[in-house]
Amino acid sequence: MMGPEHTQLLDLAKAAAAAGAAVLAGRNAAGLKASNKGAAGDWVTAFDVAAENAVRDVIVQARPDDTITGEEHGTHVPASPSGYRWSIDPLDGTTNFIRNIVYYGTSVAVADPDGVWLAGVVNAPALGKLFYASRGQGAWLEEGGHVTRLNGPEPGRPGQILASGFSYDPDVRAEQAGALAGFMEGFADLRRLGSAALDLCLVADGTHDAYGERGLNEHDFAAGALIAEEAGCWVRRPRLTSPLEGGPSLEERLSAWTCAGTLEMSGKFPL
């Protein structure tokens, strides 16, 4: 049974993600101010930064002693850390956002002092979808005023679809392309939507049959992996290097895969 603190953490994650999504909902071409982070295709906009600021403000106001790790501002450890840590991707799917492709959203998750993910929320304003989960309490989708419990993909259905993504690093991308044929064995088709958080949520709601991607940052998978897991999916994600400082390490991140799907699919993914 979920205790009062877990309920409060999920409610706070929802409020924080809603604050970030509200910034994204104000998208306009003139205000993008897009710039490249250094790798080809790795973009940041004024909306990424503003959304992260909005998410952080909500969390800090409610829980000033929690550590916060965000894509744009890194990790902030307060003077007297509680041990709880938030992982934020204010705009997962920035390239989609720049080009007005609807697959993007704000991802917020929180882990306890042992590094166990307790609550995760992915708010996709252009889709009108709110995905969320709390450990041991299932995964849920709010859409159009309706709330639906998520139960993952249908096992063994024909024409299975795999979701994945490709690295900005040309060398890693070349390796991914070379392994793609073997990786695709047993699947009928591949989707690459450009948001790891939403890809994981779409496994949770059964749209995708499985998802696998190498080299994700923690903020990419933190909320979506918990949502998929609570929907009953088999999930593998990189270990945290440090529950307080965040993780995984750069070496592990580049080599590790984040995967989700039905249990019988676990053998299809690279170790």
pLDDT digits (tens, 9 = 90+) for 72-102: 999 999 999 999 999 999 999 999 999 999 9
> Which ranges in 137-270 belong to alpha helices (H)?
170-183, 196-204, 218-230, 250-255
Provide the terminal-to-terminal Cα distance of the chain, rounded to the nearest Å: 33
Pairing type for strands 35-36 and 43-44 reads antiparallel
pLDDT of residue 257: 80
Together in a domain, 183 and 217: yes
Domain-ending residue, one of 119, 150, 181:
150
Domain-ending residue, one of 150, 172, 199:
150
Together in a domain, 146 and 165: no
DSSP type of residue 2: -
Together in a domain, 135 and 224: no
The answer to whether residue 239 is domain-embedded is yes
Distance (Å, whole) CA 262 – CA 37: 35
- 196-204 vs 218-230: helix crossing angle, rounded to 10: 0
**Domain count within the chain:** 2
Together in a domain, 75 and 134: yes
Domain-ending residue, one of 124, 150, 176:
150
pLDDT tens string 197-242: 999 999 999 999 999 988 888 999 999 999 999 999 999 998 776 6
The answer to whether residue 189 is domain-embedded is yes
Together in a domain, 29 and 144: yes
Together in a domain, 178 and 263: yes
CA distances from 93 to 97, 154, 168, 196 (A): 6, 26, 13, 8
**Tens-digit pLDDT string for the chain (271 aa):** 455 577 899 999 999 999 999 999 999 877 888 786 655 556 788 899 999 999 999 999 999 999 999 999 999 999 999 999 999 999 999 999 999 999 999 999 999 999 999 999 999 999 999 999 999 999 999 999 999 999 999 998 999 999 999 887 888 788 878 878 887 888 999 999 999 999 999 999 999 999 998 888 899 999 999 999 999 999 999 877 666 666 655 455 556 789 999 987 777 776 5
Together in a domain, 106 and 186: no
Domain containing 87 equals 4-150
